[in-house]
Amino acid sequence: MTDLETMKLEFELEKKRRLLSAAAGREPAELVLKNASYVNVFSNELCTCDIAVTDGVIAGLGKYAGREEIDMGGKIVCPGFIDAHIHLESSLVSPSEFVKAVMPNGTVTVITDPHEITNVLGTDGLEYMLQATENLPVDVLFMLPSCVPATALDESGANLNYKAIEPFYGNPRVLGLAEMMNYNGVTEGEEGVLKKITAAQIHRKKVDGHAPGLGGNELNAYIASGVGSDHECSDLGEAVEKLQRGQYIMIREGTAAHNLEALSPLLSGGYADRCMLCTDDKHPSDLLEKGHINYIIKKAISLGASPIRAVMAASFNAAQYFQLNDRGAIAPGYLADFTVIDNFESFKIEKVYKRGKLMYDGEMREFSAPAIEQRLLKRAHNSFRVSPLKEKDFEAQIPLGVIGIVPGEIITTDCGLAEKPDVEKDILKIAIIERHKNTHHIGLGYIRGYGLKQGAVATSISHDSHNVIAVGTSDAELAAAVNTVVDRNGGIVVVRDGEVLGELALPVAGIMSDDTLVNVNRALEHAKARAFELGVSTQIDPFMTLSFMSLPVIPVLRLTTRGIYNVVERKYM
Amino acid sequence: MTDLETMKLEFELEKKRRLLSAAAGREPAELVLKNASYVNVFSNELCTCDIAVTDGVIAGLGKYAGREEIDMGGKIVCPGFIDAHIHLESSLVSPSEFVKAVMPNGTVTVITDPHEITNVLGTDGLEYMLQATENLPVDVLFMLPSCVPATALDESGANLNYKAIEPFYGNPRVLGLAEMMNYNGVTEGEEGVLKKITAAQIHRKKVDGHAPGLGGNELNAYIASGVGSDHECSDLGEAVEKLQRGQYIMIREGTAAHNLEALSPLLSGGYADRCMLCTDDKHPSDLLEKGHINYIIKKAISLGASPIRAVMAASFNAAQYFQLNDRGAIAPGYLADFTVIDNFESFKIEKVYKRGKLMYDGEMREFSAPAIEQRLLKRAHNSFRVSPLKEKDFEAQIPLGVIGIVPGEIITTDCGLAEKPDVEKDILKIAIIERHKNTHHIGLGYIRGYGLKQGAVATSISHDSHNVIAVGTSDAELAAAVNTVVDRNGGIVVVRDGEVLGELALPVAGIMSDDTLVNVNRALEHAKARAFELGVSTQIDPFMTLSFMSLPVIPVLRLTTRGIYNVVERKYM
């Protein structure tokens, strides 16, 4: 045992003595939830008794007196909810702001993959997120990004092999390797990919999956490699095939992907214990309007799931998968993380306790945001390396491919080649500007279906490398929009004639704001309205649509810093 | 990553590449079980397909071709069975011999607590067992003995605090801290006890429980301390109380304790997933006649349990509890540990595979016993420190307590005091001789109900300190019997007039033989017959009865090296 471990032993011993005194009834517990009907995740039923808590841990179930006693008669106490997979950055706000939004929805633990910020800042991004989430009242646990860059076509801010992420496994909040998107690399036995998986296993950590549509023997290979979960199923049969082969399934219901309706039958079947809930991404308005994991539970119940099975998926099952033995259940020795609801029908969140502390009861309790070291703050706020652009940087010398937008989908169509833009016919120029290393790599192409009639729109959120992507009605407008984003060290802008009509500043790595969620949402909605005024089709989200145009894994056409790429034919046009 | 870990990475990588090639079907698997109906532990049902195996690991489920193909049509393939808690020493044979006995019964993994040998040899005993089980075809995994000596009244060969067992947590076959028998010490917050539990937790290891009859808030305290399981329940209500509070329950059906009949309803209830099977101890004849975990499964089915639930308790549930993520299920990436049966009714074990190797198919395959280092061999074979005893060492100066035997039970009654032995009235002298440190501590008393009319019986198996315990019709016979045991470096003897009528040599720490299970059983039965001939009551086991007389935790009277002890009144007579 190291000196540190010996110190920890002494510390834990003292805590344990207090806990056992309360448990055995030798002294009153700090907090007792009296007459609590609670979800017993071990037997899938409601039980009723007192729940005693000391030092943030459940001391006992039974009959107890406490220094503080809260009558829970008529309420239902659930283990606090867990989001099994989210990219926190998608909320566009700091983790502290995110916590303020999700805790009133009953969330007490999230497992995040800081894939976005790591694509910008490399392991500094990972470190930034670890520091930004330290000791928050929602436990933020990590899976290490497995695919930075996402593909070989990407020009991201970093290129991480297994050795680069290696030191982070020592952090107790790191649970494993995040979604292994390169499933072909796995099944084909690519060395770099297998090294990442094997290293995670050597550290006895989990490996999350991401393999939409994978089945048959390829799926066997993917799972045999050590990938333990999947959150990409949109089809019941696909999910069952993965479950049968031993994967856990994360039922995803977030802002971009909605799989609950297809997958909710799982919560009533033989595999119910092997399912958890996740959001993958939650944008500001979605967080504010719908809620978080509570929204998924409620919807699952409305789709016919047993309420207890749904709550288990949102708590115990995720804890089991991640081997978080201290949470997800209400029993002695578990963390006193409770989400108290009125009943399973209206499912109103009345109180949320984290480690025995009341954090929400209609109002969110104050907490302090963790300090982030200066070096990282500076690095995150200065992530752009792009020299000012001029009109002629956007000039097209040859005919370019035309990406067709499909409203409501992230797939695109191949609309052939165009000689030049034509605003009247809705053929607009789209550009992506490498922004991490000042390479002056600029990818150009055309896009149809965006609808813009004046000005330009630009954003530094573009998956997964987060270069600057822009659509404009002229090269001058494009240059102005992109330069504005770079000037601001990141953000979303709507410009016309050199005037910024709407904007959301995203100064943290170009993908997150320093402002509150409400303000971010307001600025975003304002910018969106301006974009619509300039003609953007109201059938699409002006910014999210752009942010997916750079993801060279979704058919058919995408724009990379090297030009228009045909994903199906695997070649540049 | 350490150099060792980097080497491991390279090694695992190579294996993984081969596995994925077989899984994806790029090359034939080493072994394919064709048309296998297998127990799908994730959904509690039988599924049918091919099971492909390479390098001892399951590559895939589906349709496969293999270099070797075995048709499994009409058979049922189960995940290999796991005994969740056993003291291997109770079989009286070496671990290799034990393996030969249990593997034909479908057992592929046992979790052992080497409590007996450790009470004799201290951590050398632990090390001995680790070496004696290395690379056996049954995986022998360890829980570190938590209570050496078992009580403060014991004079054992070692006294181990948390620091003494600490280095063993680094061994990957060590899963945690074994049954914490001192439950009063836990609930009362005794420092040494809590340190042991906390140290295990710091190493992220499991802590097994042992708390017969514990309930209410004392139970809450015991569980809150971190004790995750119990194998001492003999009552359904007691088991449910423990399950509700989060413990896993090991349903025990061994040689001494039979809890299955009382607990089998658990396998049909809401807590079924939280139950596993264990034997605790298995004596030679019991192993040979009844079998092992397969016997418990079969009996559970006959008592009404669903066969699949029973098989899950015997495999997946135990793996889940111990966080053995590589076994207990049939799915890609899991160890190819299979127990093939004819059907759930006759439950005949037809084939047993360990890591893809056929180990049993009516006949047990050869394997080599691991080498044990000389120092340990010598130490284990020379564990007696007792100067030769004389008749007068057994003389009683004052009246002594009389222990009353209750046939078929291990409890005893208090039969008051006696002035002297009286063979006619079945008042015999019983003696226990400290044998680890040559202290010449000899505890004397009387026993009623044993029945011996001539000679003496002595054994060096006496729980849990394994001093030499003897009953004789005269002090001279006692001295002869004890001296014989010491001469042999351990064993069980039946003597008369200085002649050894029957004996089982137990030269390994005085508790295990170097011979085969069949020979051990034969010698034991022979000795038993001689004991009965000398008058020992046929209602009792002549040796097992004696071996429990020294366990000062079971009411009412016990014999320690300091004399007769009243367990209920907690004092010497």
B243 and A59: CB-CB below 8 Å? no
Quote the pLDDT of residue B409.
Answer: 87
B202 and A23: CB-CB below 8 Å? no
Q: Is A363 within 8 Å of chain B by CB? A: no
Contact B470, B457 (CB under 8 A): yes
Closest residue to B218, CB basis, from A8, A24, A246:
A24
Contact A511, A281 (CB under 8 A): no
A16 and B225: CB-CB below 8 Å? yes
Spatial distance between the Cα atoms of A314 and A273, rounded to a whole number of angstroms: 11
The one-letter amino acid at B192: G
Which two structure tokens, joined as six digits, stand for B441?
A: 């501590």
Quote the pLDDT of residue A545.
Answer: 95
- In the predicted structure, residue B140 carries a pLDDT above the cut 90: yes
Q: Taking phi first (over 0 means left), then psi (-120 to 50 degrees means alpha), and beta for anything else, what does residue B127 get?
A: alpha
Closest residue to B333, CB basis, from A52, A224, A323:
A224
Contact A141, A376 (CB under 8 A): no
pLDDT per residue as tens digits for the range A31-52 = 999 999 999 999 999 999 999 9
Give which of A17, A13, A44, A47 is closest to A33, Cα–Cα.
A47
Q: Which residues on A lie below 8 Å from B174 (Cβ)?
A: none
B17 and A194: CB-CB below 8 Å? yes
Q: Counting one residue from A and one from B, how many pairs have CB atoms under 8 Å apart? A: 203
The parts of chain A modelled with pLDDT lower than 50 are none
Task: Provide the mean pLDDT of chain B.
Answer: 97
| Interface residue of A16, A182, A276 to substitute, partner B, most B CBs within 10 Å | A16
Query: DSSP states of A499-550 as a string?
Result: EEEEEEE-TBTTTB-SS-HHHHHHHHHHHHHHHHHTT--TTS-HHHHHHHTT
Quote the pLDDT of residue A21.
Answer: 97
Spatial distance between the Cα atoms of A14 and A120, rounded to a whole number of angstroms: 43
The torsion angles phi and psi of B18, rounded to 5 degrees, stand at -65, -40
Q: Which residue of B has its CA nearest to A274?
A: B42
Contact B272, B309 (CB under 8 A): yes
The torsion angles phi and psi of B422, rounded to 5 degrees, stand at -150, 95
pLDDT per residue as tens digits for the range A486-529 = 999 999 999 999 999 999 999 999 999 999 999 999 999 999 99
Q: Are strands B107-112 and B456-459 parallel, antiparallel or unpaired?
A: unpaired
- In the predicted structure, residue B61 carries a pLDDT above the cut 90: yes
Spatial distance between the Cα atoms of A124 and B241, rounded to a whole number of angstroms: 49
Q: Decide: residue A203, CB within 10 A, 0-12 exposed, 13-18 middle, 19+ buried.
A: middle
Q: Which residues on A lie below 8 Å from B195 (Cβ)?
A: 9, 13
pLDDT per residue as tens digits for the range B65-113 = 999 999 999 999 999 999 999 999 999 999 999 999 999 999 999 999 9
The torsion angles phi and psi of B276, rounded to 5 degrees, stand at -130, 180
Spatial distance between the Cα atoms of B542 and B469, rounded to a whole number of angstroms: 12
pLDDT grade for B316, boundaries at 50, 70 and 90: very high
B61 and A220: CB-CB below 8 Å? yes
Q: Is B176 within 8 Å of chain A by CB? A: no
Closest residue to B9, CB basis, from A44, A47, A195:
A195
Cβ neighbour number for residue A71 with a 10 Å cutoff: 11
Query: DSSP states of A349-397 as a string?
Result: EEEEEETTEEEESSSBPP-PPPP--HHHHHHHT-----PPP-GGGG--S
Contact A572, A562 (CB under 8 A): yes
Task: Specify which residues A66 forms β-bridges with.
Answer: A29
Q: Is B326 within 8 Å of chain A by CB? A: no
Q: Using the 8-state DSSP alphabet, how is residue B256 labeled? A: S
The one-letter amino acid at A87: H
E-strand ranges in B91-227 read: 107-112, 139-144, 174-180, 206-209
Q: Is B416 within 8 Å of chain A by CB? A: no
The one-letter amino acid at B261: E
Spatial distance between the Cα atoms of B477 and B484, rounded to a whole number of angstroms: 11
Q: Is A13 within 8 Å of chain B by CB? A: yes
Spatial distance between the Cα atoms of A391 and A476, rounded to a whole number of angstroms: 5
Spatial distance between the Cα atoms of A365 and A356, rounded to a whole number of angstroms: 13
The torsion angles phi and psi of B260, rounded to 5 degrees, stand at -65, -45
The torsion angles phi and psi of A265, rounded to 5 degrees, stand at -55, -25
Longest dimension (CA), chain B: 84
Quote the pLDDT of residue A2.
Answer: 87
Q: Which residues on A lie below 8 Å from B40 (Cβ)?
A: 244
Three-state DSSP class for residue B498: coil
A224 and B199: CB-CB below 8 Å? no
Contact A59, A29 (CB under 8 A): yes
Quote the pLDDT of residue A554.
Answer: 87
Side-chain half-sphere CA neighbours of A179 within 13 A: 22
The one-letter amino acid at B483: N
Spatial distance between the Cα atoms of A393 and A387, rounded to a whole number of angstroms: 11
Query: DSSP states of A129-148 as a string?
Result: HHHHTTT-SSEEEEEE-S-S
- Cα→Cα distances A325→A40, A80, A86, B65, B171, Å: 15, 14, 21, 40, 21
Q: Is B195 within 8 Å of chain A by CB? A: yes
Spatial distance between the Cα atoms of B90 and A378, rounded to a whole number of angstroms: 65
Q: Using the 8-state DSSP alphabet, how is residue A422 labeled? A: B
Closest residue to B61, CB basis, from A13, A199, A245:
A245
Quote the pLDDT of residue A343.
Answer: 98
- In the predicted structure, residue B554 carries a pLDDT above the cut 90: no
Distance, C-alpha A136 to centroid of its chain: 17
